[in-house]
Structure 1
Amino acid sequence: MVMMVSLMVTAVIVLIPFLLAAARHMVLRTGRPKWVRRVLAARAKEGADGAGVTVTDELLSFLNPGKRVQIERRQEERLVRHDVQDGAPRRVGVDLDRGTAVIRPGGDRG
């Protein structure tokens, strides 16, 4: 009996956020119903993960220690500031004062 209850609790903890995340994804992708899409779009934070992603990542990191490194790296990427002026010169630039556009050949820097 205890095992059955613990299995049900685990299923609820994992499945409900997963199903909510899937429903959210479908609403944002299809745009229907429109009022739900507006509410979800207004609540969405730039770069934030939903509950389903968080639960799935934590479960996978429990089973695979390499996933924990990936989650921590993703969190670090959100915190690091990325400036265009850092590093090599830009490949594409528009100077509105002079009325010129610059496009430099180069490979994809990934």
Structure 2
Amino acid sequence: GHKHYEINSPNHRKHHHIVCLQCHKTFEFNDDSITKISQKQAEKEGVEMLDCQLTVHAVCIEALRKGWPALVPTSWSCPRTNLEIMSNSGSNHQKAKLEEEEELPNVQ
């Protein structure tokens, strides 16, 4: 697998990532609007946001040139972006996630 290490310090600039599914190249970017939107949503849900990191899964231009998207199964989708789960409220999202784990009881 691929490992990505970063400095964890108070002075380290907050940023997000785009990760190529084929070559695992990682691109960093900064967008304060993502953090602001996340903070608003946390306040709406009544929780305190401690951190905000976005990871976008993609196929980089080098991989596209090599024809690598053909290697990504057409049925592949990130489980965290399941539209049915994401369209529900936070509590339903938690319930759906818990139900996927066989060892946990059904949460109402």
* TM-score above 0.5: no
Structure with the larger strand share: 2
Give me the TM-score of the superposition, normalised by structure 2. 0.30
Bigger Rg, which one: 1
Give me the TM-score of the superposition, normalised by structure 1. 0.29
Larger RCO (CA within 8 A; separation ≥ 6) = 2
